C-alpha cells in the first residue's frame, strides 16, 4: 500500500470510528445543522429522544423541535446567531417530540467553522433531562409539604398542651367540691358517723384524692412539655430535702414494715436547685421504691458529691425491672407490669416528668435494675453557682 493510500484508509478509518461514536450513543441527540439551521444529520439518540427517524427530519429546520412559544419569540434563530457569535450556547428548555409531547432538554449548540474562519454549520447535542427536572420539582414540593406539616404539627402540639391544661384545671373544680364535703363528713361536722359510714366515706375521699393527683400529674406534664416551666432556684441542702421527704413518707414505710436508711457519704454542700420540684422528684422515686418493694424490704438513700455535682442514689430491695422494660422506664404513661403493679397505682407520668425536670437542671437520672434484684435510681444535679 502506498503512503497516500494508507493515509486515505486512516482517514476513512477515523471517519468510521467517529460515525460509530455518534451513531452508537443513544442517550444524546447529536446532529449537524447547516448555517441556516436545517438539520443535516441525525443519530440514534436523536431518534430515540424525539421519535423522528432520520428520513423524517433531515432537511427540516431546527424549529421543528421547538415549542410554538419559542418560535413566536424567534428563539431558534436567535440561538443560532448567538452560537455563531460566541462559539456555543447551552440552554435548558422544552423541546417537542414527533408526537407533540414535550421533554425538558439540556441543549448545547456549537458553531462550526472551516479553516478560513467561515461558518459552515452547527453541531447540536441535546439531552432529555425531563426526569431530572421532575425529580427536582418533586423534591421541592416534598420539602414544602414537610415544612407545612411541621408548622401544623407544632400548632397541634400547642393546642394539645393548652387543651390538657384547660381540661385539667376544670377537672379540679368538681374534685374540690367533693373534697370539701367528704372532709366535712369525715371530721364529724355533720354528726357522728358509724364505723362503716366513716370507712366508706374515707374510701371515696381517697379515690377523689387520687383523681386530684392524676390531674396534677397531667398538668405538670403538659406544662413541662409545653416548655412553660420556669425553675425557681435557690440554695438548698439535699440532705435536708431528703430528710423532709423521708419524714413525710414515714407512715407509708411503717405500714409496709420497710426500713429506710439515709447515708451521707460526703458532706453535702448547698446546691442551686428548684427546691419544690426536686423535692417532688425525689418523693416520687422514694415512694416508688416503697411501692415496688415487698413488705419488710429496705430502701437505702445515699448522698455523695463531686466538685461539680451532688448525687443521690435511691436503692430498693424490690421486684426490679427487666432488661427489656428498663429502657421504657422514663417514657410517658409507661407502667411496667410486675408482681406489685396492680396494687401500686399511679399515672405513669411521674418518672417522665422527673427526668424532664432533672434535665432542665442540666442534671442526669439513670436506673440500674434486674428482676427480683431491686432497683437503683441515680440522680446527679449540678451544684450550680458557688455560694459566696
Which residue, 184 or 199, is less far from other proteins as judged by CB? 184
Q: How far is the CB of 315 from other proteins (least distance, A)?
A: 23
Count the residues in the chain. Answer: 388
| Nearer to other proteins among residue 99 and residue 187 (C-beta) | 187
Taking the complex as a whole, how short is the minimal distance between the CB of residue 221 and other proteins, in angstroms?
A: 10
Distance in Å, CB of 145 to other proteins, minimum: 35
What's the CA gap between 240 and 246, in Å, rounded? Answer: 10
Half-sphere exposure of 274 (CA within 13 A, CB side): 17
Q: Which of 340, 248, 236, 329 is nearest to 287 (CA)?
A: 248
Least separation in angstroms between CB 235 and other proteins: 18
Task: Compute the least distance from the CB of residue 165 to other proteins, in Å.
Answer: 8
C-beta of 120 vs 255, nearer to other proteins: 255
Report the candidate in 264, 375, 271 with the shortest Cα–Cα distance to residue 316: 375
Rg of the chain over all Cα atoms, to the nearest angstrom: 41
Contacts of the segment 211-217: beta carbons below 8 A, 24+ positions apart:
211/171, 211/175, 212/172, 212/175, 212/179, 213/347, 214/347, 215/168, 215/171, 215/172, 215/175, 216/168, 217/347, 217/349, 217/350, 217/353
What's the helix, strand, coil split of the chain in %, to 5? 50, 25, 25
Residue with Cβ nearer other proteins (189 or 333): 189
Which residues bind to other proteins, rule: CB under 8 A?
Answer: 169-170, 172-181, 183-184, 187, 189, 209, 212-213, 215-216, 219-220, 223, 228, 232, 248-249, 276-277, 279-280
Minimum gap (Å) between residue 372 Cβ and other proteins: 29
d(Cα 95, Cα 104) in Å, to the nearest integer? 6
| Nearest CB to other proteins, comparing residues 77 and 209 | 209
Query: For other proteins, which is the closer residue by CB, 251 or 323?
Result: 251
Amino acid at each position: 500500500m502506498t503512503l497516500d493510500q494508507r493515509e486515505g484508509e486512516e482517514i476513512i478509518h477515523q471517519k468510521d470510528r467517529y460515525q460509530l461514536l455518534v451513531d452508537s450513543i443513544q442517550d444524546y441527540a447529536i446532529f449537524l445543522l447547516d448555517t441556516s439551521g436545517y438539520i443535516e444529520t441525525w443519530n440514534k439518540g436523536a431518534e430515540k429522544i424525539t421519535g423522528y427517524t432520520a428520513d423524517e427530519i433531515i432537511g427540516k429546520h431546527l424549529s421543528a423541535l421547538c415549542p410554538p412559544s419559542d418560535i413566536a419569540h424567534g428563539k431558534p434563530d436567535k440561538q443560532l446567531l448567538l452560537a455563531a457569535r460566541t462559539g456555543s450556547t447551552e440552554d435548558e428548555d422544552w423541546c417537542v417530540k414527533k408526537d407533540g409531547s414535550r421533554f425538558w432538554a439540556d441543549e448545547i449548540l456549537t458553531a462550526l467553522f472551516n479553516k478560513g474562519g467561515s461558518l459552515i454549520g452547527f453541531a447540536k447535542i441535546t439531552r432529555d433531562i425531563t426526569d431530572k427536572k421532575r425529580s427536582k420539582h418533586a423534591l421541592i414540593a416534598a420539602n414544602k409539604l414537610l415544612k407545612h406539616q411541621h408548622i401544623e404539627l407544632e400548632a397541634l402540639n400547642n393546642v394539645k398542651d393548652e387543651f390538657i391544661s384547660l381540661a385539667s384545671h376544670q377537672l379540679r373544680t368538681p374534685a374540690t367540691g367533693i373534697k370539701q364535703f367528704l372532709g366535712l363528713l369525715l371530721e364529724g361536722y355533720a354528726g357522728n358517723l358509724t364505723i362503716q359510714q366513716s370507712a366508706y366515706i374515707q374510701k371515696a375521699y381517697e379515690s377523689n384524692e387520687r383523681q386530684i393527683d392524676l390531674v396534677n400529674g397531667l398538668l405538670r406534664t403538659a406544662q413541662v412539655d409545653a416548655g412553660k416551666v420556669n425553675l425557681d432556684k435557690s440554695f438548698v441542702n439535699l440532705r435536708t430535702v431528703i430528710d423532709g421527704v423521708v419524714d413525710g413518707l414515714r407512715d407509708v414505710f411503717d405500714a409496709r414494715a420497710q426500713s429506710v436508711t439515709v447515708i451521707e457519704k460526703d458532706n453535702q454542700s448547698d446546691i442551686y436547685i428548684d427546691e419544690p420540684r426536686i423535692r417532688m422528684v425525689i418523693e416520687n422515686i422514694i415512694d416508688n421504691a416503697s411501692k415496688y418493694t415487698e413488705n419488710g424490704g429496705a430502701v437505702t438513700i445515699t448522698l455523695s458529691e463531686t466538685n461539680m455535682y451532688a448525687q443521690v442514689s435511691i436503692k430498693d430491695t424490690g421486684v426490679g425491672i427487666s432488661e427489656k422494660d428498663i429502657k421504657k422506664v422514663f417514657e410517658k404513661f409507661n407502667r411496667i407490669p410486675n408482681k406489685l403493679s396492680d396494687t401500686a397505682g399511679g399515672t405513669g407520668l411521674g418518672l417522665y416528668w422527673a427526668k424532664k425536670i432533672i434535665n432542665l437542671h442540666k442534671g442526669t437520672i439513670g436506673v440500674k435494675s434486674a428482676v427480683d434484684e431491686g432497683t437503683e435510681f441515680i440522680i446527679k444535679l449540678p451544684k450550680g453557682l458557688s455560694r459566696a
